[in-house]
């Protein structure tokens, strides 16, 4: 036998399945970004990927399962959070990511729209976002603490509050940027804030 016990005559997904699933996730990403989770429909996703709604449900058993797949896919695609090399500074990684985000407004929109929507009752994305925020705060908090040890954090700055504030500023500036991209310079706002918190070497 190749896998598992003899009483399980399974063969696994066919060759094109992987590509098919990814196409669905990408289409769903667009639809959820444009209309939100509640506002987006499986039918529209199916139309966009060129298959029937029934076939779509063969790959993802429910709408909420599709949402979670979209959120997890987003994580793997965007070099998100702690994926910076040990040499790169926190500030440089943040600014680099912010500049990159300007080139993918759809990704920013998905994140901003679903994050707030996940605050509503029984939203399937709730756990994803709460865990993500916990992780992000811990990660940034550690970075600020490390900077403090080197004496490079402005005195009086609390690492945990600074972590939450940095994330908050980032999220909020993205919202304004989505409303009117010309009204605000995301990277510059983050740069200003980090220049204040972090002292030069």
Q: Does 20 bind DNA (CB under 7 A)?
A: yes
The option from its own copies, DNA, none interacting with 72 (CB < 5 to 8 A, set by class) reads none
User: What CA–CA distance (Å, rounded) separates 44 from 30?
Assistant: 10
Q: How far is the CB of 6 from DNA (least distance, A)?
A: 11
Binds DNA (CB under 7 A): choice among 4, 9, 156, 182? 9
Interface residue list for its own copies (CB under 8 A)? 34-36, 38-39, 109, 112-113, 115-117, 119-121, 129-130, 133-134, 137, 157-158, 161-162, 164-165, 167-173, 175-176, 178-180, 183-185, 188-189, 192-193, 196
Binds DNA (CB under 7 A): choice among 3, 5, 11, 155? 11
Q: Does 28 bind DNA (CB under 7 A)?
A: no
- CB within 8 Å of 142: residues ≥ 6 apart: 159
The nearer residue to its own copies, 59 or 114, going by C-beta atoms, is 114
Q: Residue 153: what are its φ and ψ, rounded to 5°?
A: -105, 130
User: What CA–CA distance (Å, rounded) separates 146 from 36?
Assistant: 38
Q: Does 17 bind DNA (CB under 7 A)?
A: yes
The option from DNA, its own copies, none interacting with 52 (CB < 5 to 8 A, set by class) reads DNA
User: What CA–CA distance (Å, rounded) separates 163 from 145?
Assistant: 10
Q: Is 64 helix (H, G, I), strand (E, B) or coil?
A: helix
Phi-psi region of 36 (alpha: psi -120 to 50; beta: other; left: phi over 0): left
User: What CA–CA distance (Å, rounded) separates 157 from 144?
Assistant: 9
Binds DNA (CB under 7 A): choice among 5, 6, 15, 182? 15
Contact positions with DNA (CB under 7 A) in 53-72: 53-55, 57-59, 61-64
User: What CA–CA distance (Å, rounded) separates 176 from 156?
Assistant: 29
Q: Residue 144: what are its φ and ψ, rounded to 5°?
A: -65, -40
Q: Using CB under 7 A, list all residues that contact DNA.
A: 2, 9-17, 20, 40-44, 51-55, 57-59, 61-64
């Amino acid at each position: 036998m190749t896998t598992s016990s003899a009483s399980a005559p399974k063969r696994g997904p066919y060759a094109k399945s992987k590509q098919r699933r990814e196409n669905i996730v990408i289409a769903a990403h667009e639809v959820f970004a444009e209309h939100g989770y509640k506002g987006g429909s499986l039918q529209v996703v199916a139309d966009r990927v060129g298959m029937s709604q029934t076939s779509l449900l063969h790959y993802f058993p429910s709408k909420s399962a599709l949402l979670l797949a979209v959120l997890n896919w987003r994580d793997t695609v965007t070099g998100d959070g702690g994926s910076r090399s040990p040499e790169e500074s926190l500030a440089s990684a943040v600014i680099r990511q912010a500049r990159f985000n300007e080139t993918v407004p759809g990704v920013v929109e998905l994140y901003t729209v679903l994050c707030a929507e996940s605050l509503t009752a029984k939203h399937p994305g709730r756990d994803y976002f709460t865990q993500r925020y916990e992780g992000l705060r811990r990660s940034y908090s550690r970075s600020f603490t490390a900077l403090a040890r080197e004496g490079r954090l402005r005195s009086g700055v609390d690492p945990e509050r600074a972590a939450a504030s940095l994330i908050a500023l980032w999220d909020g500036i993205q919202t304004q940027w989505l409303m009117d991209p010309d009204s605000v310079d995301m990277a510059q706002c983050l740069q200003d804030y980090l220049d204040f918190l972090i002292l030069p070497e």
